[in-house]
């Protein structure tokens, strides 16, 4: 490897971090449900947009990841960012459910193109640099890019939209649009890492081989269901959280503070995830985080029905989503260690493919239940999480140990 090539690869890690940071700033997120309701949607319709997102992901997940393995990570990352830019433009002007659906279609396309591709890009960069043993650390730093601006953006958002007026929402959407544009500019400076191609395996078929990995490896299968179900359980609560907390008397400012704390905790936990319980396997670390998540969720339910206190509910909710978010980097490392370089993006994206399948019935059920009582969403989330922990906890086999990461 030439010195110039090595320098470009090292720059990859920095550029991907800042691309992630800029495109994930999403100032609107902390008040996104309030924004959608402001533009005329009901909470059930908010969940319907999430269903549309999942359907599009289901259709495009495998083709997009196949494209990443065949066409190249860099091109697909750029295409993803362009789709995201179109999404922000549409959301800026949308005022009806059909318009928002079109916007979320482009958002889903962007997500499908990026999912798996960015993680494979980071992992393969570390491998070409000869630093595969530090891949967990590199992935942790990459994922921390999602949080660095989000530490401050929720506070910025609630300060700007404190009155929840139209021009205030437009202002923060313009921030997100501009940040996305900067991410597109930076993406043109990354370089494609080598993927250590195997001609024999490529001829066997990238997608077919990835499915074969999952069928023959029960550990990956359980990991996919474990990650997906608990993520969905966390997501359906997050999706309605801002409107829920406003309705029980929590101020917009306090919602922003809790969101900033969540992002701060998630930033450091992602960046230093290799320090979390380093003496045990990745499987056990994931299991511990699952237990902490469901304990937080169970305590939230107790507060909702027996000891209603809006501040305690907010604290427990925030802790729960922190524990769930911490799992992401560990799962990425788990998948990376058990898939081949040439089809790593496809294997990672199969996990998101399964998520899209499970998303649809769960989100539709959530949209139905919320028409009766918003608290039903918390009950649904708890049941899903309990099911995942009982039937899909990861085994203690040292298939992916700390030593290997």
pLDDT at residue 162 above 80? yes
Cβ atoms of 164 and 36 closer than 8 Å = no
pLDDT at 301: 95
Distance separating alpha carbons of residues 384 and 388, to the nearest angstrom: 6
pLDDT at 289: 94
pLDDT at 402: 35
Residue 18: which residues within 8 A CB-CB, separation 6 or more? 145, 183, 186
Nearest partner of 115 among 67, 156, 81, 64, judged by Cα = 64
Q: What is the mean pLDDT of the chain?
A: 84
- CATH assignment of 3-394, given 1.10.3720.10, 3.30.200.20, 3.40.50.10490, 1.20.1250.20? 1.20.1250.20
* Percent of the chain residues past pLDDT 70, beyond the cut: 85
DSSP class of residue 150 equals T
- Dihedral sign computed on CA atoms, order 234, 240, 369, 61: negative
Q: What is the pTM of this model?
A: 0.78
HSE, CB side, 13 Å, CA atoms: give it for residue 400: 26
Q: Which residue has the higher pLDDT, 246 or 341?
A: 246
Over residues 337-371, the pLDDT tens digits come to 766 655 555 566 567 677 878 999 999 999 999 99
Of 41-55, 226-240, 383-397, least confident by mean pLDDT is: 383-397
* Per-range mean pLDDT, top range of 127-136, 172-181, 211-220: 172-181
pLDDT at 344: 58
pLDDT at 229: 95
| 135 confidence band (pLDDT: 50, 70, 90) | low
Q: Which residue has the higher pLDDT, 105 or 260?
A: 105
* Per-range mean pLDDT, top range of 95-99, 114-118, 327-331: 95-99
Over residues 187-237, the pLDDT tens digits come to 999 888 876 433 234 334 555 656 666 677 777 788 889 999 999 999 999
Distance separating alpha carbons of residues 188 and 218, to the nearest angstrom: 39
Which backbone phi and psi does 398 adopt, to 5 degrees? -85, 55
pLDDT at 249: 94
Which tokens sit at 363?
């989100």
Distance separating alpha carbons of residues 185 and 214, to the nearest angstrom: 36
Q: Rounded mean pLDDT of 5-27? A: 86
pLDDT at 96: 94
pLDDT at 340: 60
Query: Per this entry, what is the length of the chain?
Result: 405
Residue 256: which residues within 8 A CB-CB, separation 6 or more? 30, 154, 155, 157, 158, 159
Cβ atoms of 387 and 296 closer than 8 Å = no
pLDDT at 208: 63
pLDDT at 196: 43
Q: Which residue has the higher pLDDT, 5 or 245?
A: 245
- Dihedral sign computed on CA atoms, order 35, 39, 43, 44: negative
Q: Where are the domains of the chain?
A: 3-394
Q: Rounded mean pLDDT of 312-336? A: 88
């Amino acid at each position: 490897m030439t010195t110039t090539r090595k320098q470009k690869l090292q720059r990859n890690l920095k550029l991907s971090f800042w691309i992630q940071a800029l495109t994930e700033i999403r100032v609107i997120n902390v008040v996104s449900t309030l924004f959608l309701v402001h533009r005329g949607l009901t909470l059930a319709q908010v969940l319907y947009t999430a269903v549309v997102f999942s359907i599009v992901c289901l259709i495009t997940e495998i083709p997009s990841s196949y494209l990443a393995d065949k066409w190249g990570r860099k091109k697909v990352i750029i295409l993803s960012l362009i789709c995201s830019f179109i999404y922000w433009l549409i959301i800026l002007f949308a005022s009806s459910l059909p318009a928002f659906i079109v916007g979320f279609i482009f958002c889903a396309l962007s997500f499908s193109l990026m999912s798996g591709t960015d993680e494979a890009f980071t992992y393969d960069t570390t491998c070409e640099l000869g630093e595969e043993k530090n891949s967990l650390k590199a992935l942790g730093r990459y994922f921390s890019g999602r949080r660095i601006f989000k530490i401050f953006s929720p506070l910025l958002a609630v300060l700007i939209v404190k009155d929840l007026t139209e021009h205030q929402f437009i202002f923060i959407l313009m921030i997100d649009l501009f940040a996305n544009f900067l991410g597109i500019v930076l993406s043109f400076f990354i370089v494609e890492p080598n993927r250590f191609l195997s001609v024999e395996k490529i001829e066997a078929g990238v997608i077919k081989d990835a499915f074969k990995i999952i069928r023959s490896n029960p550990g990956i299968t359980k990991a996919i269901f474990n990650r997906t179900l608990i993520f969905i359980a966390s997501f359906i609560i997050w999706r309605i959280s801002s409107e829920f907390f406003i309705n029980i008397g929590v101020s917009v400012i306090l919602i922003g503070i809790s969101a900033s704390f969540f992002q701060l905790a998630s930033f450091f936990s992602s960046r230093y995830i290799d320090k979390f319980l380093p003496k045990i396997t990745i499987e056990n670390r994931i299991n511990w985080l699952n237990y902490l998540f469901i304990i937080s969720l169970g305590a939230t339910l107790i507060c909702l029905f027996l000891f209603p206190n809006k501040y305690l509910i907010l604290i427990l909710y925030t802790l729960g989503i922190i524990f769930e978010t911490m799992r992401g980097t560990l799962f990425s490392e788990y998948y990376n260690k058990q898939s081949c370089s040439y089809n790593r993006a496809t294997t990672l994206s199969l996990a998101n493919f399964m998520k899209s399948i499970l998303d649809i019935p769960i989100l539709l059920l959530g949209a139905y239940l919320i028409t009766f009582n918003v608290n039903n969403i918390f009950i649904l989330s708890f049941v899903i999480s309990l099911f995942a922990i009982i039937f899909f906890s990861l085994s203690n086999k040292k298939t992916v140990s700390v030593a290997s990461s």
